[in-house]
Amino acid sequence: MNKIHNIIIAISIAFISTTTYATSPRKPTVTDFSDDFNKLYANGKNIIIDKQGNIVNADYDFVEGIQEGLSKVRKDKKWGFIDKNLKVVIPLQYDRAKNFNEGLAVVAKNDKYGFIDKNGKVVIPLQYDYANNFSNGIASVVKNDKYGAINKGGELVVPFQYERSFIFNEGLARVEKNDKYGFIDKKGKVIAQLHYDEAERFQEGLALVKKDGKWGFINKQGKEVIQLQYDRASSFHEGLASVKKSNKWGAINKKGKVIIPFQYDYVHYFNKGMAEVRKDDKYGIINKQGKIIIPIELKGYFFESFQEGLKKFEKNKKWGFINKQGKVVVPFQYDSVSDFSEGLALVYKNDKYGFINKKGKVVIPLEYAYASSFSEGLAMVEKNDKGGFINKHNQQVIPFTYDIAYDFSEGLAVVGMIEDPSNIRAMPKFGYIDKQGTIVIPIQYKYAQSFDDGLAHVQTEDNKWFYINKRGQIIK
């Protein structure tokens, strides 16, 4: 086994064994807040930073992403709203708050819920025991443990009589009463009687319902248009629904006609005209006519995992790639492969790593003891127990100097070096290099993560954690 791979395993074990909530919080989360700012979650706090990683505001305990132009924030257990420029638009005065939706936001004070507009004006009084956001002009609200619904004028359109109510979808909402489900319209009229044991939301004009252990479908008039006869079923996708009968799966159309025979152990939902199927622990892909596009003889996962137009599969313990038409474009000949990244895929055979293109041609020979996929035009590879970086022409860009190295992210890569190679228990220290191989942040940390939105999480020798920007400056 190669040296870098061994070091990675050792670091992972050491990191897990020494990690505690007191010394190492979960990985920081950096997300977009606005065109000018990002939101950093670190050490239990939400911090607003600029695009360079400088702290702009650390006053709030919680900062939500902007929705409909405003972000809800919390400080000292009170909620309010700020705009994209961090200006307080609605003072922090509420005990609870939800994001704005359809121009209004749910807020609560003294255990009563109501709605405000974007100017902070209370447009529906805080009088409910609970309230959900508006959806399609209707919001479900609770009084005395019963659900009803109001419109944006605050008028009660559905009486308080249900034990549970869901959001409106395609003009109808599921409701529950006495452990039975049905559907109502926006005026509160019962469209489908509450006599179903389970029900799913409407999708493509039909809703999946269950009664006496069998599943079927109703239309928006509440009529059972597909008989309740299936042991399991999923909602319609692209005009077809996967259904199970007599322990086998198939698919039906909206008239209940069997389009895909009941012959599979599972049929996934259709996506872009195709669905993954499983039979005898083997996977394949079929189209909407039931034609097998990719033979059911492979080991793989879901159709969505196609990367750059190709999907890796295993056959007889060897790996290759297939395109969406089911054609084998890279024969099943490798011991291991990675997904395509930047036009190339990392492959492994006879204890050596190299790279192939989408035609299956080996463009970088299988000559490396270890390697990772291309990222930002470079790939980390190992030779003679040292890691360096190559470009897509197999030219050495950064010399084989480091005991460990990770992929480039945002122009910088984490690298590590062991100070005393004679000590077999020695662990590396980490720093950062740029794409010219220049050390831009000194090799001094016990642990370091890749940069994400301008910040990286690092650990010092005394087990303290903090965040640094790309200049190596501490973000407290």
> Where in the chain are the domains?
1-27+369-476, 33-122, 135-218
CATH architecture of 135-218: Beta Barrel (2.40)
Amino acid at 89: V
DSSP letter, residue 265: S
Picking from 154, 196, 157, the residue whose alpha carbon sits closest to that of residue 175 is: 196
Q: What is the DSSP string of 425-459?
A: T---EEEEE-TT--EEEEEEESEE---BTTBEEEE
In the block, tokens 């050490």 appear at 43
Alpha-carbon distance of 389 to 314, in angstroms, equals 29
Picking from 425, 464, 427, 460, the residue whose alpha carbon sits closest to that of residue 442 is: 460
Amino acid at 384: N
User: Which tokens is 343 given?
Assistant: 């036009």
DSSP letter, residue 203: B
The predicted pLDDT at position 301 comes to 54
Picking from 297, 388, 312, the residue whose alpha carbon sits closest to that of residue 356 is: 312
Q: What is the DSSP string of 31-99?
A: EE-SSSEEEEEETTEEEEEETTS-EEE---SEEPPPBTTBEEEEETTEEEEE-TT--EEEEEEESEE--
SS3 17: helix
The predicted pLDDT at position 17 comes to 40
The predicted pLDDT at position 44 comes to 65
Strand 310-315's sheet: what is its strand order? 310-315, 318-323, 328-334
Residue 240 φ then ψ, to 5°:
-130, 150
Picking from 419, 364, 417, 438, the residue whose alpha carbon sits closest to that of residue 394 is: 364
Picking from 146, 220, 154, 149, the residue whose alpha carbon sits closest to that of residue 183 is: 220
Alpha-carbon distance of 41 to 32, in angstroms, equals 12
The predicted pLDDT at position 98 comes to 96
The predicted pLDDT at position 12 comes to 45
The predicted pLDDT at position 476 comes to 62
In 10 A of CB 74, how many CB atoms? Answer: 18
> H/E element holding 287?
strand 282-287
CATH architecture of 33-122: Single Sheet (2.20)
In the block, tokens 């939706």 appear at 101
Question: Which residues in the chain land under pLDDT 70?
Answer: 1-29, 42-44, 300-305, 476
Q: Are strands 37-42 and 370-371 parallel, antiparallel or unpaired?
A: unpaired
Asked: is 1-27+369-476 a CATH 1.25.40 domain? The reply is no
In the block, tokens 């499983």 appear at 278
Picking from 446, 390, 395, 380, the residue whose alpha carbon sits closest to that of residue 2 is: 380
In the block, tokens 């005898």 appear at 280
Alpha-carbon distance of 157 to 153, in angstroms, equals 10
Full-model pTM: 0.65
Residue 75 φ then ψ, to 5°:
-150, 130
Cross-strand bridge partners of residue 261: none
In the block, tokens 């939301």 appear at 201
Please say whether the beta carbons of 336 and 319 come within 8 A.
yes
- Which residues contact residue 237 at a Cβ distance below 8 angstroms, ignoring those fewer than 6 apart? 203, 204, 269, 270, 271
